[in-house]
Amino acid sequence: MPESGSKMTPATTHQARLIDGRAMAMRVRAELARQVATLITRHRVTPGLAAILVGEDPASQIYVRNKGRQTREAGMQSFETRLPATVSQSDLLEHVARLNEDPAVHGILVQLPLPRQIDELAVIDAIAPQKDVDGFSIINTGLLAARGMGMIPCTPLGCLLMLKEYVGDLSGQRALVVGRSNIVGKPMAQLLLRENCTVTIAHSRTRDLAEECRRADILIAAIGKPRLIKGDWIRPGATVIDVGINRISVPSPNGPREKLVGDVDFDTAVHVAGAITPVPGGVGPMTIACLLRNTFTAACAQNGIDTGQLSA
């Protein structure tokens, strides 16, 4: 730790290292683009990612557009299916079944959330497990929990890559995951367990969240509550990964404006943590980079190709 505890130096002069997810994601995508190029020239296989977008949700449209653009930039094929918000369960399942059979499609992603008439879990489980690049299906969930393998959900995988880069060996570290969603909290806890962390999962019913946070060497915030976790909840020197993306209204000279903030109160946390992800520019870019990585891995596996041979 720098001198934040010293009597001569006010605590606020300490600044955590910023975990630059944007720069790291660029490196992951650049390495992936090289591997994809090798896969195409050596094996004549172009990885393909299909996204299904149901309805007109603006945030989902932006996500899917960004995923499509970055897929193409990495040299892979991007397929997009847009369906109306009124689509029936059986029509949606039919689209998934068609993509399961399509040899040009190695990864399938159904953008969530889905409209109310759709049974989300049934749709996720209809995706062939080897093409389930989100890793949300019951097969991949089970593989991660019981065997520490399978397709790993992209956001937790991105968080893990950042932790490994900034912390190194995670073995024996006390990790707190705040949030128990199927998309982030639960798979994140499984991954940290696989790295030999001592893992606690906190959630909306946890009794003294501040005290739980103060014990953590690694804190993953994925609860969806803007700036909930304050600087004085954080153990000095801890590594903080903020998964939250919350839109809030803040005053400005020209009237209220929208701002993206995380689940951590960055302005106070940055003076206590050892390293911290900003929002935006932290976890978000790594999520898409990991989705592309999963698609590449899926394409190799479906063609019996060892990914290790493509790194050179």
The nearer residue to ligand GUN, 10 or 113, going by C-beta atoms, is 113
Closest-CB residue for ligand GUN?
112
Shortest reach from residue 235's CB to ligand GUN, in Å: 29
Shortest reach from residue 158's CB to ligand GUN, in Å: 10
Tokens 């390495």 sit on residue: 31
Question: Is 61 among the catalytic positions?
Answer: no
Shortest reach from residue 18's CB to ligand GUN, in Å: 23
DSSP 28-58: HHHHHHHHHHHHHHHH----EEEEEEES--H
Shortest reach from residue 287's CB to ligand GUN, in Å: 6
Question: Is 67 among the catalytic positions?
Answer: yes
d(CA 196, CA 199): 9
> CB burial class (10 A; 0-12, 13-18, 19+) of residue 53?
buried
The nearer residue to ligand GUN, 60 or 206, going by C-beta atoms, is 60
Which residue out of 67, 70, 131, 242 is catalytically annotated? 67
152: which residues sit within 8 A by CB, 6+ positions away? Answer: 135, 140, 144, 187, 191, 290, 294
The nearer residue to ligand GUN, 99 or 238, going by C-beta atoms, is 99
Which residue out of 70, 131, 132, 134 is catalytically annotated? 134
Could you list the residues that contact ligand GUN (CB under 6 A)? 109-112, 134, 154-155, 183
d(CA 30, CA 163): 20
Query: Contact, 155 vs 283, CB < 8 A?
Result: yes
The nearer residue to ligand GUN, 69 or 257, going by C-beta atoms, is 69
Query: Contact, 194 vs 169, CB < 8 A?
Result: no
Question: Is 111 among the catalytic positions?
Answer: yes
Question: Known catalytic residues?
Answer: 67, 111, 134
